[in-house]
């Protein structure tokens, strides 16, 4: 199946985000976890926390920029998808501490919003 330019750009942004976060000590767990409720771009471990990362890339700050594009509806889908992930990996065992981060890439600059929501 051919990959569109938008998919290619999204994959490149996710790879940049993964490289950025692992270079800062986070440990890679999973990429592009999909469920009926949505998708989580990156899942990493930061010490004792499991970190769910939404990667957003924009060429500029028009319409509020990359970080502002994570709407309340998007946050809700990510939370629901994280619950599916946790249930599938941990079942009824205790879940680890969680954090939801946003990594915004805008005009080549990276902005890491820890505990964004």
Task: Look at residue 80 in the predicted model and tell me its pLDDT.
Answer: 98
DSSP string computed for the chain: -PPPHHHHHHHHHHHHHHHHHHTTT-EEEEEEEEETTEEEEEEEEETTEEEEEEEEEESS-GGGHHHHT--HHHHHHHHHHHHHHHHHHHTTSPPPEEEEEEEEEETTEEEEETT--
* pLDDT score recorded for residue 64: 61
Expressed as residue numbers, the domain containing 101 is 5-113
For the chain, 117 residues long, give each residue's pLDDT as a single digit of tens. Answer: 677 877 787 788 999 999 999 999 999 999 999 999 999 999 999 999 999 999 998 765 555 677 777 889 999 999 999 999 999 999 888 999 999 999 999 888 899 999 999
For residue 101, the model assigns a pLDDT of 97
CATH of the domain at 63: 3.40.1350.10
Number of domain units in the chain = 1
Confidence (pTM): 0.89
Check residue 59 and give its pLDDT. 65
């Amino acid at each position: 199946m051919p990959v569109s330019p938008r998919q290619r750009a999204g994959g490149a942004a996710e790879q940049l985000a993964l490289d950025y976060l692992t270079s800062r000590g986070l440990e890679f767990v999973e990429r592009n976890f999909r469920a009926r409720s949505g998708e989580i771009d990156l899942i990493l471990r930061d010490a004792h926390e499991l970190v769910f990362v939404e990667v957003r890339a924009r060429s500029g700050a028009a319409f509020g920029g990359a970080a502002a594009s994570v709407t309340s509806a998007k946050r809700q889908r990510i939370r629901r998808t994280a619950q599916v992930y946790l249930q599938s990996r941990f079942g009824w065992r205790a879940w680890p501490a969680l954090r939801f981060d946003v990594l915004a890439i805008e005009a080549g600059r990276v902005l890491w919003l820890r505990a964004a929501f």
